[in-house]
Chain A
């Protein structure tokens, strides 16, 4: 009884996905399915994604859930939907994804590999990707052909990484985060986003539904907000 009282007083710690949901995301694909082709969006079923080629049920970020493996060749999660297209805000937002490379060799494989790519066209897109330059990650926000880029070299980890990009036209800021900490300098003087998300260019784990520049490793807990999260909120997202 004492144990139960103490528990009642202290409260049970929320599970990771509950904490994400507590930030009121616009879309949230935990990618924890064990089977099937549907990538469930916990916010809105009309925004469910569709897996191609991934291997489900692989080790997750440590939250007791699993993640899909992306093979770096043919796999991706197509998250385009008319609902997402309608709910997306190119001027204000945050996108977060957990990622890990399959092995240390991926960092030096000389290939571009997309963690996610949300794109209206070549002049309006948001992406986080591994560069073809060794050990390098890139966070990129482009609006009306005005490009904001944060490029950080020196990564060798095979552990999970919490990768976040936030953007705000009203504040004229784009920020990149690695494991809850901002990296690079805050980018300023953003362009004005134009256009709706493209049906084949709104993807987790690749550039497009043609599997181009596919991710090689695991991805999990992809979430999208229509506002820039605060640094404190982003730091919390990086804690499992």
Chain B
């Protein structure tokens, strides 16, 4: 199990597809836990097209194949038709894998595993906070 932060950004999913994906991701993590931090909770970007989740995740639910299968199910297609492009970003000194899921020439989803699934909760949080600071204009209200 991994306690950390996961972000998704919608690139071309329609409203129904996006809602289906978000509903599936909201179901990840424990049904109960003494700590609110480990229960699945989320924050939505101001434009509604990105979500950050925090929970105690089963790592098997966060693999590239797991997301390919989710998207394939949403599209009703073979998962092998979903392609990926992976990079690594550094928002606060850590390593955050970022994967873009595409089909054909269209990018549909960007996934960020803040700090990576081997990171500590603290490191994942640092990467997430670093990301939020970098993109403050789209995640925070102007004062």
Contact = CB atoms under 8 A, between A and B. Distances in A.
A236 interface: no
B133 A110 contact: yes
B43 interface: yes
Contacts of A112: 140, 143
Interface stretch (B15-23, B29-37, B102-110): B29-37
A35 B141 CA distance: 31
B44 to A, nearest CB: 7
A74 B41 contact: yes
B89 interface: no
B19 to A, nearest CB: 18
Interface string B61-99: 000000000000000000000000000000000000000
A114 B5 CA distance: 21
B132 A212 contact: no
A66 interface: no
Contacts of A175: none
A199 B50 CA distance: 23
A33 to B, nearest CB: 10
Chain A: interface size category: 20 to 34
B112 interface: no
B9 interface: no
Interface residues of B, number: 22
A207 interface: yes
A74 B140 contact: no
A73 B37 contact: no
A173 interface: no
B141 A53 contact: no
Contacts of A72: 125, 129
Interface string A57-82: 00000000000000111110000000
Contact of A109 (B5, B43, B52, B133): B133
B113 interface: no
Interface in A10-55: 34-37, 51-55
B52 A55 contact: no
A200 interface: no
Nearest to A138: B143
Contact of A73 (B5, B44, B141, B143): B5
B21 to A, nearest CB: 19
A95 to B, nearest CB: 19
Given A36-B34, A54-B36, 10 more contacts: A37-B36, A37-B39, A52-B36, A53-B37, A53-B39, A55-B35, A55-B36, A72-B125, A74-B42, A109-B129
Interface of B: 5, 34-37, 39, 41-44, 52, 54, 125, 128-129, 132-133, 136, 139-141, 143
